[in-house]
Amino acid sequence: MDGAVSALDLTSRSGYRAFLRAQAGALDAIAPTCARLTELPSLSRLRPLLTLDMATIGAAPAPRLDAPVGLHPMGAYYVVAGSRLGAQVLARRVAESGDKTVRAATRYLADRRALDAWRAWLAASEAVTENADAIVEGAEATFALYERALAAVLEEVPEHA
């Protein structure tokens, strides 16, 4: 996924729109799975931030995707919570845009409160004594879902870079 996102020009409207739409499409698909982990901080605040950023930059609706069958919640949550670390790096890239509209659409990337989700996942993962393989498979399936979301967006609008 990192390679695919690196290929996008996040300082351009078209590149950043593609990124936001892919993020929203994948998040919409896995949010119900992540929500089953009621002992961990909710990730539900991320989608409204994406919605605001997508409106700011004039992005089309996110693609509709299905979550992988049998997706382990801890694997999905790992990807979303862990992405908040990378979001900080991406936020710095977006901040370099010469387009003030792009720079104004960074609520999702700049949200630091979601970092608590990562810390909570790390603590919860230490207590996992079974299903470790299923969690890893869930994370891999979630990464693949994000890649499919980006591919779907780029298929619609290939001039993303």
What per-residue confidence (pLDDT) applies to 85?
87
Structural domain boundaries in the chain: 2-156
Q: Considering the entire predicted model, what is its pTM?
A: 0.92
What per-residue confidence (pLDDT) applies to 112?
84
Q: Which residue has the tokens 């409106």?
A: 55
Q: Which DSSP string do the residues of 94-115 spell out, in sequence order? A: HHT-S-HHHHH--HHHH--TTH
CATH code, 2-156: 1.20.910.10
Residue ranges of the chain with per-residue pLDDT less than 70: 1-4, 157-161
**Helix, strand, or coil (residue 119):** helix
